[in-house]
Structure 1
Amino acid sequence: MTMGEFGTLRGNVTRKAGRFALMLGAGALVAGPLAAQAPTPAAAAANQEDPGASAPLDLPANPTIGTPAAPAFRGATAIVNGTIITGTDIDQRLALVMAANRNAMQGEELERLRSQVLSNLIDETLQIQEAEASDVGVSDAEVDATYNRVAQQNFGMTPDQLSAYLNKVKSSPASMKRQIKGELSWQRILRRNVAPFINVSEEEVKERLEKLNADKGTDEYRLGEIFLAATADAKPQVRSQAEQIMDQLRQGGSFVAYARQFSQASTAAVGGDLGWVRLAQLPPELAQAANTMQPGQLAGPVELRGGYSLLYLIDKRQVLVADAREALLSLKQISISFTPGMTQAQVEAKAKNFAADVKTINGCGAAEAGAAAIGADVVSNDNIRIKDLPPQLQDVVMNLPQGGITQPFGSPQEGVRVLMLCGKTEPQTAGGPTFDELMAQIEDERVNKRAQIYLRDLRRDAVIEYN
């Protein structure tokens, strides 16, 4: 389907939802406490005809008229154009974040996260409402299909197993499905109401390609971003929320999970991944931060005109230059394990003998026989990239000669091992993006900017009540 087939932009979406409020039913019966009254003599006499009529009713002195609320009932926390968001909705969505977070949160930190989760649920509700108003709503069947796919691809579970897991962590399948519906709805809105009106000329793409070739050899960065929008008066509160999220990320929280839950950029659906960008393509504030980062590092909160960003440097390379870390390796891992109950002295002695013995193995062809002779195991891998190795091993392996081995590494619990280099396929020179790929990248950049404005306008026009 071409972009033009998604339809035309509706100039002004008319909202029929008025101002809603959660209220008790009209005509309440209680004006004040009821006083117990003794029956009149006539009434007492009439009761004699009914054998059970004179039984005491045991009425409370101050009854409450009406049906008592069920203990599990949770009132509305916010009402968005008539759609209710309850405390249970917030609790279950917060549990999704907590499940991806390795550190427990409590007190003020937890309350700040709850506030951000509520904000996200409000945005999500507005996105779903806008999709339905634009006749591109997402059906339950489509949500279920995506849920099933997420269970398999993201969690390695069946849908039933994922549902059981979500209930176990005090979330729910319904909460995740609502998030999925919000993401799908927003994607459809952008395809229908934004993307068809993004124009990128051939001259722009050619100019960007020329600039790309001129920048050959300069650094480019694969960045993850969590963007929190903030108006001028809300900046202190949003900055506090950003700092709290940053603390959780530094303690091992999942950047992808936090980006999906909290980021207000259109990249939230892909875990905040901005793809490969150069510093010149970033706002000056983000470019300055990224310039000092190394892969695996976090930076932020970085203040921007419209809010704050948290950055994660996924990887770094040079424009149109082959990355040596993309080289494919053929490796053999030779390892020994330790018997439970061995003393520290015994472990050290065995490790020392292993380090000396592996040096006597004459190349990869003799690895299996040599390992068997010293009581070691061998595992081969003929298709592993240098960049996929632990960072502390990458430079070591890159500098090994054919048949060379690393120094032993490991622990008494995991055993001790060495890596032997048996082959290396050098990476090809990077060719850079094609014309079509670069055009798509520029379009995505512009859609992302328009999406932020679109969502801001939806918030501004919405009728939202907080309780």
Structure 2
Amino acid sequence: MTTTFANLLSAVAVASLAATPVALQAQASAVAPTANPLGLPETVQLLGQTNPNNRRATARVNGDVITGTDVDHRVALVTAANGNASALSGDALRQLQMQVLRNLIDETLQIQAAEAQEMPITQGEIDRQYQRVAAQNFGTEINKMDEYLTGIGSSVASLKRQIEGELAWSRLLRRNVQPFINVSEEEVEDMMTRMEASRGTAEYRLGEIYLSATDETAAAVEQNGVRIMEQLRDGGSFVAYARQFSEASTAAVGGDLGFVRLGQLPPALATVAQEMQPGQLVGPIRVPGGFSLLYLIDKKQVLTADPRDAILSLKQIAIDFPEGVSQDAANSRVTAFGEMVNSIRGCGDAERAAATVNADVVTNDQIRVRSLPEALQSTLLELQVGQSTPPFGSVEDGVRVLLLCGRDDPESTSGPSRDEMMAQLTEDRVGKRAQRFLRDLRNDAYIQYN
């Protein structure tokens, strides 16, 4: 159930923020903080006692109360999505609680702003979106969503509150930001010209979790980044963590920056991204204004057909082993299987050859190369029709080969259309303006912490 629920937090992302390098461009243009910009004394003496561990994670936002129960229920959503609830304790749990509190404050401000502008989200809208999310995770058994949320220590109200916040934010952006964003035809033409000039250069689809920091807070923020990296490597969902922890506008889309070229990245990130392989995590990386955690989702070449988009027709030939089989017996069966594979004379001969060793044959003629495990992609791309991969697998999982029976190579891409490029540039600017809009809401808010 945890695997199914891992995408739930991203499934309710309805705010139309851009999946473009908004945060990175902002970081690239950030000015390093000057030494002691506030003119503070070298030695700071606090008047009174303070113990951050004794602070309760609750707040009052313009009169609306965020309770400890609200925080706990949202923490349960995050930890369930990542499957590591039992691993969080002590400082890690407190850090997550405080981050969730900050998110709930922003969410409350967004809901309040929508109500103040006389466009509140109705209960019917919230219920319909909740049912769509439930259907994505549980199919026709929508009632199981209620049971599941209660079972993980969260609540229906918590998820519906998040849905309300995102619907409200989307509505605010449509009224207050999107109508005032203009992209000229000249800008579109310039961008398309630059893309054509970059044909064949590498593009990287990156996920980013951006954590802002000053010189004074850098050590603590870096330590927090290290903890997040550990939890991601233990199986945490990058999308869910980005939505809860990242301070960039791309948090709403799970930290997805889309495809970017190295020249669009801050030098520190460009150097790291160039060496990364798809699926790799790196961080924390010091960048102007804070730290970044990077996840390389995919890699391709600009305006060039990607061989991994080829559609393959494959036959999978597999054998399994009875429980408790001896090593000698398994080795003997694997040897016979290998000899059978070497005897195959084209795809039409696969069923006959497989029958000689009681192997199973499964055919699929719509397999995209990039959907296969990374270790198999390069091997399959080098095969000719009628050839097979080397045997792979184990006694526990079975041993198999993939026989290539056909291949439709992708056509060379001409890149995005003018309309698509216009939409991309517009979304980029909406994302930047949205970040400033939320900052203004925070600056005007009256917030009391308990």
Query: Does TM, normalized by the shorter one, top 0.5?
Result: yes
Residues 290, 383 of structure 1: alpha-carbon distance in 2 compared, 3 angstrom cutoff: same
Partner of 1:10: none
Using the alignment, how far apart are the partners of 1:438 and 1:155 within structure 2?
A: 36
State the AA in 2 paired with 1:228. L
Residues 199, 266 of structure 1: alpha-carbon distance in 2 compared, 3 angstrom cutoff: same
Using the alignment, how far apart are the partners of 1:137 and 1:234 within structure 2?
A: 37
State the AA in 2 paired with 1:344. Q
Out of 176, 188, 199, the residue aligned to residue 205 of structure 1 is 188
Q: Which moved more, 1:367-376 or 1:273-282?
A: 273-282
Residues 241, 124 of structure 1: alpha-carbon distance in 2 compared, 3 angstrom cutoff: farther
Residues 157, 291 of structure 1: alpha-carbon distance in 2 compared, 3 angstrom cutoff: farther
Corresponding residue SS for 2:383:
coil
State the AA in 2 paired with 1:92. H
Does the CA-based 8 Å contact 1:222-1:276 persist in structure 2? yes
Using the alignment, how far apart are the partners of 1:260 and 1:318 within structure 2?
A: 28
Partner of 2:345: 362
Using the alignment, how far apart are the partners of 1:146 and 1:239 within structure 2?
A: 37
Residues 188, 229 of structure 1: alpha-carbon distance in 2 compared, 3 angstrom cutoff: farther
Q: Which moved more, 1:94-103 or 1:80-89?
A: 94-103
Does the CA-based 8 Å contact 2:111-2:120 persist in structure 1? yes
Matched, 1:398 2:381: yes
Aligned 1:97-136 pairs, distance under 5 A: 97-103=78-84, 104-136=87-119
Using the alignment, how far apart are the partners of 2:291 and 2:420 within structure 1?
A: 29
Out of 340, 349, 354, the residue aligned to residue 332 of structure 2 is 349
Partner of 1:83: 64
Does the CA-based 8 Å contact 1:95-1:171 persist in structure 2? yes
Shift of 1:282: 3.4
Does the CA-based 8 Å contact 1:265-1:448 persist in structure 2? no
Partner of 2:415: 432
Partner of 1:140: 123
Matched, 1:226 2:209: yes
Using the alignment, how far apart are the partners of 1:224 and 1:142 within structure 2?
A: 30
State the AA in 1 paired with 2:109. L
Does the CA-based 8 Å contact 2:354-2:360 persist in structure 1? yes
Out of 96, 99, 111, the residue aligned to residue 77 of structure 2 is 96
Q: Which moved more, 1:206-215 or 1:261-270?
A: 261-270
Using the alignment, how far apart are the partners of 2:384 and 2:299 within structure 1?
A: 26
Shift of 1:299: 2.5
Segments of structure 1 that go 5 or more residues without pairing to the other structure are 4-74
Residues 305, 453 of structure 1: alpha-carbon distance in 2 compared, 3 angstrom cutoff: farther
Corresponding residue SS for 1:402:
coil
Aligned residues: 394
Does the CA-based 8 Å contact 1:102-1:251 persist in structure 2? no
Corresponding residue SS for 1:200:
coil
Does the CA-based 8 Å contact 1:337-1:415 persist in structure 2? yes
Using the alignment, how far apart are the partners of 1:464 and 1:269 within structure 2?
A: 23
Using the alignment, how far apart are the partners of 1:442 and 1:320 within structure 2?
A: 18
State the AA in 1 paired with 2:258. G
Partner of 2:298: 315
Structure with max Cα Rg: 1
Shift of 1:361: 2.2
Aligned 1:406-425 pairs, distance under 5 A: 406-425=389-408
Deviations 1:215-245 (A, max 9, x none): 1111111112223345676555444333322
Shift of 1:285: 4.2
Using the alignment, how far apart are the partners of 2:173 and 2:282 within structure 1?
A: 29
Aligned 1:295-310 pairs, distance under 5 A: 295-310=278-293
Residues 241, 116 of structure 1: alpha-carbon distance in 2 compared, 3 angstrom cutoff: farther
Q: Which moved more, 1:116-125 or 1:242-251?
A: 242-251
Using the alignment, how far apart are the partners of 2:251 and 2:228 within structure 1?
A: 15
Could you state the TM-score of these two structures normalised by the residue count of structure 1?
A: 0.80
State the AA in 1 paired with 2:410. P
Deviations 1:10-48 (A, max 9, x none): xxxxxxxxxxxxxxxxxxxxxxxxxxxxxxxxxxxxxxx
Partner of 1:190: 173
Deviations 1:419-454 (A, max 9, x none): 100001111101111111111111111111111111
Corresponding residue SS for 1:317:
strand
State the AA in 2 paired with 1:84. V
Shift of 1:351: 1.4
Corresponding residue SS for 1:223:
strand
Does the CA-based 8 Å contact 1:116-1:241 persist in structure 2? no
Does the CA-based 8 Å contact 2:57-2:97 persist in structure 1? no
Matched, 1:250 2:233: yes
Corresponding residue SS for 1:375:
coil
Using the alignment, how far apart are the partners of 2:309 and 2:413 within structure 1?
A: 10
Does the CA-based 8 Å contact 1:113-1:241 persist in structure 2? no
Shift of 1:136: 2.4
Partner of 2:7: none
State the AA in 2 paired with 1:213. E
Residues 304, 460 of structure 1: alpha-carbon distance in 2 compared, 3 angstrom cutoff: farther
Shift of 1:157: 6.3
Q: Which moved more, 1:456-465 or 1:419-428?
A: 456-465
Does the CA-based 8 Å contact 2:336-2:357 persist in structure 1? no
Residues 367, 400 of structure 1: alpha-carbon distance in 2 compared, 3 angstrom cutoff: same
Aligned 1:145-160 pairs, distance under 5 A: 145-154=128-137, 156=139, 158-160=141-143
Shift of 1:393: 0.7
Partner of 1:58: none
Corresponding residue SS for 1:291:
helix
Does the CA-based 8 Å contact 1:405-1:421 persist in structure 2? yes
Q: Which moved more, 1:451-460 or 1:149-158?
A: 149-158
Partner of 1:28: none
Segments of structure 2 that go 5 or more residues without pairing to the other structure are 1-15, 17-55
Corresponding residue SS for 1:429:
coil
C-alpha root-mean-square deviation of aligned residues, in Å? Answer: 2.0
Does the CA-based 8 Å contact 1:229-1:307 persist in structure 2? yes
Using the alignment, how far apart are the partners of 1:244 and 1:372 within structure 2?
A: 52
Using the alignment, how far apart are the partners of 1:419 and 1:76 within structure 2?
A: 54
Using the alignment, how far apart are the partners of 1:158 and 1:266 within structure 2?
A: 34
Using the alignment, how far apart are the partners of 1:156 and 1:99 within structure 2?
A: 19
Partner of 1:31: none
Does the CA-based 8 Å contact 1:300-1:310 persist in structure 2? yes
Q: Which has the higher contact order (CA 8 A, sep 6+)?
A: 2
